[in-house]
Amino acid sequence: MSTEAPYTIMGVVNVTPDSFSDGGTFEDPVAAIAHARRLVSEGAAILDVGGESTRPGAAPVDAAAEIARVIGVVEGIAGLRLPARVSIDTMKAPVAAAAIDAGAAYVNDVSAFRHDPGMAGLVADRGVGCCLMHMLGEPRTMQLDPRYDDVVSDVKAFLEARLAFAVAAGIPEERIQLDPGIGFGKTLEHNLALLRRLDEIVAIGRPVVLGTSRKSFLGRLTGREAAERAVATAATTVLGYERGARVFRVHDVAATADALAVVAATLASPWPPTTPRTTTTRTS
């Protein structure tokens, strides 16, 4: 019987001064690398390193500044040889190339290869995995009155088109994952519709990445600040898993791992024993 979990947790390692939830917390590479180690101990199998905030209204960062923020962290994490892949969260091919050289094996592009025309060819040539996400417009403008004919159908059509583009660029389909972009150019009602009908996105046939962690729509629903939204995030994780999502990008890895262990055990039997968890924060 296989003991491999039927889902993947992607832990967020932001090295930005202005991310909506933890901006500035892990700007120091030593702190960011220690945080990555901790996320893996809690259950993360991918570590998503980002050097440019994509929160609504975020200012753009040039490639050189972004590289300066992320490369030491990517190198440091890769050097630990943790049981997790390193992902680079970027829209820029030069940043992705530098990160891959430093040890990244996955590119998380919130623009789905639209921002930088060189990104698809880079991913194809370097043989890494990727995530293509739906976003309406760009971070600075995406929340300015977002409108859709039908948000789920529109997002599905977009992701199908970007998947076809990536395959045509030479990226094998099995290396591509898709993200409906919760919170990226969507109202509260749009986000809830995507969660409710997530199985329609799953029907495209590629693993679906769900990124709801600590997002503002959860704050609107619960009245809680970003750092207090782990329980609300876990609720969306359970809903997402039940509807077919299999990759979960989160800040609160331990809570997500517990929620997924329970929902996976409930929906699939037999279930392998869970490895005992610890609360250690040792970094060396």
- Show pLDDT as tens, one digit a residue, over the chain (284 residues): 345 789 999 999 999 875 545 444 566 899 999 999 999 999 999 999 999 988 777 778 999 999 999 999 999 999 999 999 999 999 999 999 999 999 999 999 999 999 998 999 999 999 999 999 999 988 777 778 889 999 999 999 999 999 999 999 999 999 999 999 999 999 999 999 999 999 999 999 999 999 999 999 999 999 999 999 999 999 999 999 999 999 999 999 999 999 999 999 999 855 555 666 655 444 43
DSSP-assigned states of every residue in 115-164: S-TTHHHHHHHHT-EEEEE--SS-TTTTTSS---SSHHHHHHHHHHHHHH
Residue 272 domain flag: no
Per the domain annotation, does 138 fall within a domain?
yes
Is 276 part of a structural domain of the chain? no
Instruction: Determine, yes or no, domain membership for 27.
Output: yes
Identify whether 275 is part of a domain: no
Residue 55 known to be catalytic: no
Domain of 30?
8-267
Answer whether residue 282 is part of any domain: no
Q: What are phi and psi of 39, to 5 degrees?
A: -60, -40
Helix, strand, coil fractions of the chain, as percent rounded to 5: 45, 15, 45
Query: For the chain, what is the domain count?
Result: 1
Q: What CATH number corresponds to the domain at position 47?
A: 3.20.20.20
Q: Answer yes or no: 249 catalytic.
A: yes
Residue among 215, 229, 243, 246 flagged as catalytic: 215
What are the φ/ψ torsions at residue 212 (nearest 5 degrees)?
-105, -5
Q: Is 278 within the bounds of a domain?
A: no
> Does 134 map to a domain?
yes
Q: Is the pTM of this model over 0.85?
A: yes
